[in-house]
């Protein structure tokens, strides 16, 4: 019996090579055990340990290898690790630091990388994934700024390009400026409203500091600038901020900015700023509005026909920034501050509160309902605009100042000669 089993080809190969037992060998072992063979004899016959034979006999056949379960420092933290992995954009070192600070787990960076590696493919797919959606006519306009350099008058100048894109028709409005201040955002939007002849229901904006004070990337809590709220109420639209670090949520305008820089500006030179603006206006009308759009397959000018009817009417509103009514205190340098610039007022009003009205390119300053100063709005920054008439009677008033044409102002009743006050109190000061 023994010789007959030993000459079986599978059994002989197993004993010679020392490999793990095959399924047919285990079946033969079980059959021999039923015939009365013990574990010792079977171990010699099959060339394996007695404990291995006993395991096969106990399990009733071949069993897969069971990997022992080992405890790790990450046990019970799978949900926490996943949340932090996506919050920190897959940065394993930040996760390692927070493991130490929040859970007291000191562990190597490589261990953290190995633990989270099965989520990296999901993160990569999440970044690339874009859900394309089409908005209804007149519902949304997307806005953004881009910066580039352009040759103007023989000088290479860094300029900022505002681009507003109607989400339905893909019609563009462009405006260039030397800065990217809140005023430039507002003027860009107002220019778009005037160009399109109406106002969309909502405006999707980037998370620019000039417009958005806070936007939590996790909770999506948004806090807009108060002046933006006032601007939106004035024009009657709803501001909406795109997701932080997710430019794809504003993809129509992101592509629009790149299109303007690469098609309308790149490689061109202009004799003056006016020539540059004229070129952009012509390019928008003749090129951007007339091209066959890659997504819609229709010219934006043709598709705009359906959208124009859905835009809210302008109702004859004047520009939001045309009238500004402010209150300022006259500083010791005989001036009031406005948009980083200072404008002079009569020196006798130092310490007084005055009304500052910005209208039609003029800065008009009133006190006690009378105009005490009138200046042209300064387009620069940190400039001092001075009227010499405001310093008459002040020691050193003849020093070097930037003078403008004096304004003939009647002496307000409030600014009486000191002799009149002396008479009231009954003597000299």
Lookup: tokens for 226: 């108060």
Lookup: tokens for 332: 């010791």
Give 162: exposed, middle or buried? Use CB within 10 Å, 0-12, 13-18, 19+: buried
**For the domain 140-308, what is the CATH code?**
3.30.420.10
Note the Cα 290 to chain centre separation in Å.
Answer: 30
Reduced to 3 states, what is the DSSP secondary structure of residue 71?
Answer: coil
Owner of token pair 């860009």: 188
Q: Is residue 92 a contact partner of residue 111, using CB atoms and an 8 Å limit?
A: no
Owner of token pair 């600070």: 101
Q: Rounded to an integer, what distance in angstroms lies between the CA atom of residue 11 and that of residue 43?
A: 12
Compute, in degrees rounded to 10, the torsion defined by CA atoms 334, 338, 342, 345: -30
Alpha helices in 182-338 (DSSP H): 182-196, 226-235, 251-259, 273-283, 300-308
> Cα Rg for the chain, rounded, in angstroms?
40
How distant, in Å, are the alpha carbons of 333, 367, 392 from that of 345?
9, 10, 11
Q: Rounded to an integer, what distance in angstroms lies between the CA atom of residue 31 and that of residue 251?
A: 71
Q: Is residue 14 a contact partner of residue 46, using CB atoms and an 8 Å limit?
A: yes
Note the Cα 316 to chain centre separation in Å.
Answer: 33
Domain 2-59 has CATH 3.40.50: no
User: Which residues in 53-95 belong to E strands, given as ranges?
Assistant: none
> Per-domain residue ranges for the chain?
2-59, 78-128, 140-308, 321-418
Q: Is the dihedral of CA 297, 302, 307, 312 positive or negative?
A: positive
244: Cβ contacts below 8 Å, ≥ 6 apart: 207, 215, 216, 217
For residue 158, count other CB atoms closer than 10 A to its CB: 9
Q: What was the pLDDT predicted at 14?
A: 38
Q: Rounded to an integer, what distance in angstroms lies between the CA atom of residue 173 and that of residue 166?
A: 9
Nearest CA to 270 among 107, 159, 427?
159
pLDDT by 10s per residue, the chain, length 429: 444 444 444 343 333 344 467 888 888 888 898 898 988 998 888 888 888 888 888 888 776 666 677 788 888 888 999 999 988 888 898 899 999 999 899 999 999 999 899 998 888 887 666 555 567 899 999 999 999 999 999 899 999 999 999 989 999 999 999 988 888 999 999 999 999 999 999 999 887 888 888 877 666 678 888 888 888 988 999 999 876 655 445 445 457 788 898 888 888 899 999 899 999 999 999 999 998 888 888 999 999 998 999 999 988 887 876 667 788 999 988 999 998 899 999 999 999 999 998 876 788 899 987 889 999 888 778 889 998 889 887 755 554 444 444 445 454 544 555 555 455 445 544
Burial 345-383 (b: 16+ CB within 10 A, else e): bbbbbeeeebbbebeeeebbbebeeeebbebeebeeeee
For residue 99, count other CB atoms closer than 10 A to its CB: 21
């Amino acid at each position: 019996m023994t010789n007959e089993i030993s000459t079986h080809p599978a059994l002989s190969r197993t004993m010679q090579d020392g490999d793990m037992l095959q399924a047919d060998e285990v079946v033969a072992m079980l059959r021999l055990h039923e015939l009365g063979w013990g574990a010792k004899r079977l171990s010699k016959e099959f060339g394996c340990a007695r404990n291995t034979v006993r395991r096969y006999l106990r399990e009733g056949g071949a069993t897969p290898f069971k990997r022992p379960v080992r405890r790790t420092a990450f046990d019970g933290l799978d949900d926490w690790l996943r949340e932090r992995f996506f919050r920190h954009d897959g940065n394993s070192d930040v996760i390692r630091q927070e493991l130490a600070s929040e859970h007291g787990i000191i562990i190597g960076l490589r261990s953290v990388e190995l633990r989270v590696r099965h989520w990296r493919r999901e993160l990569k797919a999440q970044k690339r994934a874009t859900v394309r959606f089409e908005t209804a006519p007149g519902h949304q306009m997307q806005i953004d700024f881009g910066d580039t350099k352009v040759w103007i008058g023989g000088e290479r100048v860094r300029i900022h390009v505002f681009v507003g894109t109607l989400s339905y028709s893909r019609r563009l409005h462009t405006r260039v400026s030397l800065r990217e201040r809140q005023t430039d955002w507002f003027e860009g939007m107002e220019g778009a409203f005037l160009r399109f002849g109406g106002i969309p229901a909502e405006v999707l904006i980037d998370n620019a500091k000039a417009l958005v004070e806070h936007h939590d990337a996790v909770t999506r809590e948004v806090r807009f600038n108060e002046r933006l709220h006032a601007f939106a109420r004035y024009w009657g639209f709803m501001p909406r901020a795109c997701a932080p670090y997710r430019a794809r949520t504003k993809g129509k305008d992101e592509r629009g900015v790149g299109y303007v820089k690469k098609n309308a500006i790149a490689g061109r030179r202009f004799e003056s700023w006016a020539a540059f603006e004229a070129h952009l206006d012509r390019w928008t009308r003749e090129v951007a509005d007339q091209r066959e759009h890659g997504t819609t397959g229709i010219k934006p000018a043709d598709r705009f026909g359906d959208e124009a009817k859905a835009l809210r009417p302008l109702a004859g509103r004047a520009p939001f920034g045309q009238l500004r009514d402010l209150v300022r205190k006259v500083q010791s340098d005989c001036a009031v501050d406005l948009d980083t610039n200072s404008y002079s007022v009569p020196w006798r009003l130092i310490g007084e509160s005055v009304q500052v009205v910005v209208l039609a390119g003029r800065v008009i300053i009133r006190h006690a309902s009378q105009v005490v100063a009138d200046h042209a709005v300064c387009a620069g920054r940190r400039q001092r605009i001075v009227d010499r008439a405001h310093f008459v009677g002040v020691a050193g008033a003849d020093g070097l100042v930037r003078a403008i044409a004096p304004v003939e102002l009647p002496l307000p009743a409030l600014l009486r000669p000191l002799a009149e006050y002396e008479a009231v109190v009954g003597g000299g000061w």
